[in-house]
Amino acid sequence: MSDKTSLLLPEPRPAFTERYSNWIDRRAALVFPAPALLVVFGIIIFPILYTLWMALQDWGLAYPTPPKFIGLDNYIKLLTDDERFRGAAIRTFYFTGLAVALQTVLGVGMALIFHRQFLGRGLLRTLCVLPMMATPVAIALVFNMMYHPKLGVMNYFLSLLGLKPALWTFDSKSVIPSLVLVDTWQWTPLIMLITLAGLAALPAEQYEAARIDGANRLQTFFYITLPLLRPTIMVAVLFRVIDALKQFDIIYVMTQGGPGNASETINLYLYQQGFSYFQMGYASSLVVVFFTLVVGVSFLFIRMRRAAW
Amino acid sequence: MVNGDAGRHRRLNWHRIQQRVERIGFYLLVLLVALPAAFVFFWMLSLSVKTQVESTAYPPIFIPRAPTLRAYAEVFAKNPFYKYTVNSLVVGLGSTILALAVGLPAAYSIARWKQQRLALGILVARMTPGLSYLVPWFIMFKRIGLTDNYLSLILTHLIISLPLVIWVMIGFFEDLPSELEDAARVDGCTTFGFFRRIALPLTQPGIVATAILSFIFSWNNFFVSVIIAGPNTRTLPVAVFNMMTYEEINWGPLAAAATMVTLPVLIMTLFMQRQIVSGLTFGAVKG
């Protein structure tokens, strides 16, 4: 197409496009990322700066009074005098730790299963991808119905196993494990897929050597497969840690932080402060603390991974 | 001699039995792994076609005796579900197209000129809790009167789709051999020309994968939409959540609504499974 038009057009036009493309060419390393940088600045960096500024204000959006500058008071209150925040932080780590530990063990196990050839493997692998892509709100809704203490199918399954019915999300002790189960149902496949890809890339020679040396299956797994897979599993774990720290949809839809505050994580507390109480200043300081926490944990992991190499 | 033969025979048989037991055990394990994934979807569908009496029966009824689509009709009768679907489509497609238009050149640039600092910035954007951007966004939209508006929703959904597109596509662009560009340059190809005529077509599978992922994540998104969307731009997940608050134990319509939100995504996943898996795991294994 472009060849034809350039033939039909008079002289100056190609000269112009040439000059224009020359200009792009010389500055390509700047021009190519420029639109994305603009967008990133607009939707990410500017909001962060705005948040940093707002965190220094006392500002309730619900009141007619304008924002009042109070310095670091929001942070001081948050970090030293907010029981609810402390509880939320503990719950966030509890949820994340439990979820990621469970998913890593199950995910690596599943990857070992799916690494073997068997009838219906492709079909079942597809089935395992589906939970990750399913709409979290819909999944949360279905689990809500399954967890119903009187009519839910989960308690029916428990009764089949001869166990006592549980209160699932309706009890402050079992609510977080119940939510972890939903997160695990949805995201274990990610660890499985990443590990599976790592397994496929493992060199065959070492297995050959181990077999000749008479290593049994367990030895092969613990002394060859696991050490070789460690970097891959670490990446999968990192992805999951970041997303589990941020989990919002499932918790909000299923419990909205309840019963009481028993499942209120930092993300949910932040939502409450910002969009229920409209305490924009205080919510902003929460944003900054939460942001630092997530990025900090992530970089810790990246560093650990480098050290592992 | 004969005796030894029989012994070997017996041992072979024993070995075969052991193998068979092992295989059965393995398949049981596979079943155990696959069953929970299948059951939740099955239960959602099953609840959506059962009558109210059947869906709250205890012990639960697994296969509905008289499947009915009444719950689906009820959802459409009570809610403008069609409008919510259009809203979800507009926002999903809009943010995906915008993310590709802006993200592809950026990803190419990061891969081609090894702009590590930019890559790190994108990684940070990917890691940050999305909710944290929404406090300032909410205030800004309130101030300039851009609430209940497609544009504000599409822009906010970029928080999710743009880092995703860039992050996944860096890997695909890095895989292009550098000799390719040298050859094209000798033939008089400009950088932009190479990007458009060679790099983009060659990474098409990756682009398709990221586009699908980006659309699905936008379609599934709840927390951005619940804060930014108004009554006219409400997306499906928010609509389903709102239904939950007034339907309470009327499980049929709830399950029907859940099915309608997630079924398009599931069908897309079935057809595009390979691309989705490559998109989800690409950066991870290489990284």
Residues A89 and A201 in one domain: yes
Residue A69 lies in a domain: no
Mean pLDDT of chain A: 85
Chain A residues in contact with B166 by the CB 8 A cut-off are 36
- Cβ-based contacts of B170 with chain A (< 8 Å): none
* pLDDT (0 to 100) of residue A15: 59
The H-assigned helical ranges of chain B are 2-49, 52-55, 70-78, 81-112, 116-127, 131-144, 150-174, 178-186, 191-194, 200-202, 204-220, 223-228, 236-247, 251-271, 273-286
Within this chain, do residues A82 and A118 fall inside the same structural domain, yes or no? Answer: yes
User: Could you give the ipTM of this predicted complex?
Assistant: 0.86
Give the pLDDT band (50/70/90) at residue B78: confident
Residue A199 pLDDT greater than 50, yes or no:
yes
Are A295 and B108 within 8 A, CB to CB? Answer: no
Residues A20 and A121 in one domain: no
> Which are the contacts of B136, defined by CB distance < 8 A and separation ≥ 6?
A46, A47, A48, A50, A51, A54, A284
Contact of B228 with chain A, judged by CB distance below 8 Å, is answered with: no
| C-alpha distances out from residue B59 to A102, A156, A169, Å | 30, 7, 20
Residues B30-63 have pLDDT tens digits of 888 889 999 999 999 999 998 888 888 878 888 8
Tens digit of each residue's pLDDT (9 = 90 or more) over A82-135? 889 999 999 999 999 999 999 999 999 999 988 888 888 888 888 888 999 999
β-partners of residue A279 are A60
**Interatomic CA distance for residues B10 and B8, integer angstroms:** 5
Residues with Cβ within 8 Å of B85's Cβ and at least 6 positions away in sequence, in order, are B236
For A294, which of B127, B191, B259 is closest by C-beta distance? B127
- Domain span at residue A32 reads 2-56
Verify that A291 and A243 share a domain, yes or no: yes
Res A307: pLDDT: 61
pLDDT digits (tens, 9 = 90+) for B97-119: 999 999 999 999 888 888 888 88
- Does one domain contain both A278 and A138? yes
Q: Name the residue in chain B with its Cα closest to that of A52.
A: B136
**CATH code of the domain covering residue A154:** 1.10.3720.10
Give me the residues of A, 154-193, that contact B with CB < 8 A. Answer: 156, 185, 189-190, 193
The answer to whether residues A20 and A31 touch, using CB atoms and an 8 Å cutoff, is: no
CA distance B90 to B82: 12
Alpha-carbon span B257 to B88, nearest angstrom: 14
CA atoms of A105 and B28, how far apart (whole Å)? 18
Do residue A153 and residue A263 come from a single domain?
A: yes
CB A248 within 8 Å of CB A268: yes
Chain A within 8 Å of B261 (Cβ-Cβ)?
A: yes
Has residue A146 been placed in a domain?
yes
Same structural domain, A145 and A238: yes
What residues of A are in contact with residue B240 (Cβ under 8 Å)?
A: 137-138, 141
Burial string for A134-166 (b: 16+ CB within 10 Å, else e) reads bbbbbbbbbbbbbbbeebbbbbeeeeeeeeeeb
From CA A6, how far away is CA A79, in angstroms rounded? 66
Find tokens 């599934």 and name the residue: B220
Strands A57-58 and A68-69: antiparallel
Residues across chain A? 309
* Domain match, A6 and A111 both: no
> Is residue A108 one of the residues assigned to a domain?
yes
Tell me if chain B has a CB within 8 Å of the CB of A291. Answer: yes
In a domain, A135, yes or no: yes
Quote the minimal CA–CA distance from B92 to chain A in Å. Answer: 13
Chain B residues inside the 8 Å CB shell of A189 = 37
How many Å apart are CA B52 and CA B56, to the nearest integer? 6
Beta strands in B169-265 (DSSP E): none
Examine the pLDDT at A9 and tell me if it is beyond 60. Answer: no
CB contact under 8 A, B285 and A197: yes
Residue B4: band (very low, low, confident or very high) from pLDDT cuts 50, 70, 90 = low
- Residues A124/B34, Cβ–Cβ less than 8 Å: yes
Q: Which of B111-115, B188-192, B231-235 tops mean pLDDT?
A: B231-235
- Looking at residue B11, what is its pLDDT? 64
Q: Are residue A226 and residue A301 in the same domain, yes or no?
A: yes
pLDDT at residue B256 above 50? Answer: yes
Q: Is A298 on the interface with B (CB under 8 A)?
A: yes
Q: Residue B237 is encoded by which pair of tokens?
A: 């997940």
C-alpha closest to that of A201 among A171, A233, A168, A174: A233
Q: What whole-number percentage of chain A has pLDDT above 70? A: 91
A128/B37 touch (CB, cutoff 8 Å), yes or no: yes
Structurally, how many domains does chain A consist of?
2
A107 in the same domain as A39: no
Does the beta carbon of B192 lie under 8 angstroms from any beta carbon of chain A?
yes
Task: Identify the band that residue B287 occupies on the pLDDT scale cut at 50, 70 and 90.
Answer: very low
Of A14-23, A97-106, A291-300, B217-226, minimum mean pLDDT range: A14-23
For residue A193, the chain B residue with the least C-alpha distance is B281
Touching A: B residues 94-113, CB under 8 Å: 101-103, 105-106, 108-110, 112-113
Residue in B29, B131, B165, B210 to test binding to A, most A beta-carbons within 10 Å: B131
Same structural domain, A189 and A218: yes
Residues in chain A closer than 8 A to B136 (CB atoms): 46-48, 50-51, 54, 284
* Residues A285 and A144 grouped into a single domain: yes
Among A39, A135, A235, select the one facing B102 at the smallest CB separation. Answer: A39
3-state secondary structure of A60: strand
- CA–CA distance, B190 with A136 (Å, rounded to integer): 45
Beta-carbon separation of A249 and B222 below 8 A: yes
